[in-house]
Amino acid sequence: MAMMKKKGDRLVFAYYVTGHGFGHATRVVEVVRHLIVAGHDVHVVTAAPDFVFTSEIQSPRLFIRKVLLDCGAVQADALTVDPLASLEMYSKTAVLPRASILATEVEWLKSIEADLVVSDVVPVVCQAAANAGISSVCVSNFSWDFIYAEYVMAAGYDHRSIVWQIAQDYSHCKFLIRLPGYCPMPAFRDVIDVPLVVRRLHKSRAEVRKELGIADGVKLVIFNFGGQANRQIKIIKAKEIIAPFFVH
């Protein structure tokens, strides 16, 4: 395995972000921001727009490489998933070109002299890191083998090999940094639990309520999925919130 530098030295991180929505990218921003503040270089590999990162981080230590290696789920709207289309899209994105992806990523990881690969939560890069002799870790509250297993149950078993391949890719990861609201993730051998990771607030509670036209004493829940049109935002006012929860 690649030798890590001495404590205090600059490290080079390759941080891969799933192409599913903006939620992964926005939580990655906060981790990347802290890594850069600590003096390290971070190469973010993502299909998300540059502004998601550059609006929060202005630093020559941030490098953005636009690549889609993990398409996530195909959705008609915030709550409607097409299981078969999702499996077919993943096959086109990461299964059929797998050999080419692995060769490209190994060459690139070596070219930037990466010390560590971090994935949220792109499967194939864990295998690429292993092929390059570089350690990898994943950061997430779910894994695609668990999500796609449900899709296989709904769409038929023709794509079940995808689930096994993803789990095998994840198994190369050194450990999982597990976020709250997690689902079962048996592909990972070692797990470290951490608190919720979110972006910094830019508006006060009062400012947000004023913009939404909601009185200060009204309790509410906002359901929204990143990347959807504003008409998809649903604001539910209630006298009492019984059980707040996260919906992926």
Rounded to whole angstroms, the Cα distance separating 211 from 83 reads 36
Q: Sign of the CA dihedral 191, 195, 196, 201?
A: negative
For residues 247 and 119, the model is more confident at 119
Measured from the Cβ of residue 141, the count of other Cβ atoms closer than 10 Å reads 20
Residue 247, pLDDT score: 35
Residue 227 has pLDDT above 60, yes or no: no
Q: What pLDDT does residue 208 have? A: 86
Cα–Cα distance measured from residue 136 to residue 78, given in angstroms and rounded to the nearest whole number: 31
Tokens for 132? 């390059």
Record the pTM: 0.85
Are 125 and 147 a contacting pair, CB within 8 Å? no
Q: 93 and 70 in contact (C-beta within 8 Å)? A: yes
Supply 225's token pair.
Answer: 């999925």
3-class SS of residue 6: coil
- SS3 of residue 43 by DSSP: strand
Lookup result for tokens 């999925």:
225
What length does the chain have?
248
Q: Does the pLDDT of residue 233 top 70, yes or no?
A: no
Report the percent of the chain where pLDDT is more than 70.
86
CA distance 103 to 12: 20
- The CA distance from 166 to 122, in Å, is 9
Domains belonging to the chain, first-starting first, are 12-193 (3.40.50.2000), 205-238 (no CATH)
Q: What is the pLDDT of residues 56-67, one digit of tens each?
A: 999 999 999 999
Bridge-based pairing of strands 219-223 and 234-238 is: antiparallel
Per the CB < 8 A criterion, the answer to whether 15 and 44 are in contact is yes
Residue pLDDT, tens place only, 68-126: 999 999 988 777 899 999 999 999 999 999 999 999 999 999 999 999 999 999 999 99
Percent of the chain with pLDDT over 90: 71
